[in-house]
Amino acid sequence: MNNGKGNNKRKSSSNKPSFGPKKKTSSVGSKFKKDEKSAFKGKSTFKGKTESKGKPDFDKDPKFDTQPKQHVKKADSDEIRLNKYISNSGICSRRDADIYIQSGNVLVNGQVVDEMGYKVKPGDVVNFDGALITPEKKEYILLNKPKGFTTAGDGEPGTNNVIDLVRGATRSSIQAVGRMDKTTTGLLLFTNDSDMLRKFTMPQQRSSKVYQVTLDKNLKYEDLEKVSGGITVDGHRVFVEEIDYVEGEPKSEIGIKLKTANVKVVRNIFEHLKYDVLKVDRVSFAGLTKKNLPRGNWRFLTDQEVINLKNS
pLDDT at 209 over 50: yes
pLDDT at 76 over 70: no
Q: Which domains does the chain have, with CATH numbers?
A: 26-49+208-285 (3.30.2350.10), 73-132 (3.10.290.10), 137-202+291-312 (3.30.70.580)
pTM of the model: 0.64
222-254 confidence digits (pLDDT tens): 999 999 999 999 888 999 999 999 999 999 999
Catalytic hit among 61, 65, 129, 181: 181
150-180 confidence digits (pLDDT tens): 988 654 566 789 999 998 898 888 899 988 9
How much is the mean pLDDT over the chain? 78
pLDDT of residue 10: 43
Per-residue b/e over 270-289, b at no fewer than 16 CB within 10 Å?
bebbebebebbbbbbbbbbb
Report, as an integer, the average pLDDT of 278-300: 95
pLDDT of residue 156: 57
E strand intervals along 28-125: 80-81, 106-108, 111-112, 119-120
Dist. CA 174–CA 177, nearest whole Å: 9
pLDDT at 22 over 80: no
* Catalytic-residue membership of 244: no
pLDDT at 42 over 60: no
